[in-house]
Structure 1
């Protein structure tokens, strides 16, 4: 089975989890890049990013690999203001995922409960085979690897 793990990560936290999952699965890894500048003073950049996520905005992105050539696509996002990021929202609309097996993961500080429902709604003709939410503090502490490995193992079945 050919597998792709793709994720957006502004700070590197979600990318770290995505790379660990890709390694466990023996999968290709692709980073989704948001072409909108999301840097600046912390309070301002968080407010703008959260507003974009809450308003369900899309953004210009780039990525290397098309999902069409894969049997399973694992897609990751950080959670911003309880929502998926504009980059992942755009990615889910840009890729051809109809009939594909997909799995989702997210990293979050608070409020990730509706994220997977939102992601599923954006790919209604895909088969969702798993989800994983990991608190950002677990990633920073290095306490996420067991859960990432268990998630990867569940996707192999």
Structure 2
């Protein structure tokens, strides 16, 4: 089975989780690049990014791998203002995921079920085979390994 793990990460937290999942699954890894500059003085950068996420905006992104070439696509996002990021929204809209098996993960402060529901809605003709929400503080403390192991084991069985 050919697997792709693709994620967007502004600070590197979600990317670290995505890379670990890819290693565990023996999968290819793709970091989705948001071409909009999302840096600047806090809190303005967070407010603008959160506003874009709440308004369900898309953005220009860069990626190299086509989901069509894979049997399972695992897609990750940080949670911004309770929503998926514009980069991941765009990725889900433009990748051809119809009939594909997909799984989702997110890094957040809690309340990830809304995010997974939103991601599912963007890929209605895909089979969602798993979800994983990991609080950012667990990632920073290195305490996410058991949750990730359980998630990857369930994906290997599906």
TM-score, length of structure 1 as denominator length = 0.98
Runs of 5+ unmatched residues, structure 2:
none
CA RMSD in angstroms, aligned pairs only: 0.6
1:146, distance to aligned residue in structure 2 (A) = 1.6
CA separation in 2, counterparts of 1:82 and 1:104? 15
CA distances 1:6-44 after superposition (whole Å, capped 9, x unpaired): 000000000000001000000000000000000001100
User: For 1:65-144, what aligned pairs fall within 5 Å after superposition?
Assistant: 65-144=65-144
CA separation in 1, counterparts of 2:45 and 2:25? 34
1:64, distance to aligned residue in structure 2 (A) = 1.3
1:49 aligns with 2:37: no
Runs of 5+ unmatched residues, structure 1:
none
Match of 2:30 in 1: 30
1:63 aligns with 2:63: yes
SS across alignment from 1:39: coil
SS across alignment from 1:31: strand
TM-score, length of structure 2 as denominator length = 0.98
Q: Runs ≥4 in structure 1, deviation > 3 angstroms?
A: none
1:150, distance to aligned residue in structure 2 (A) = 1.2
The aligned length equals: 157
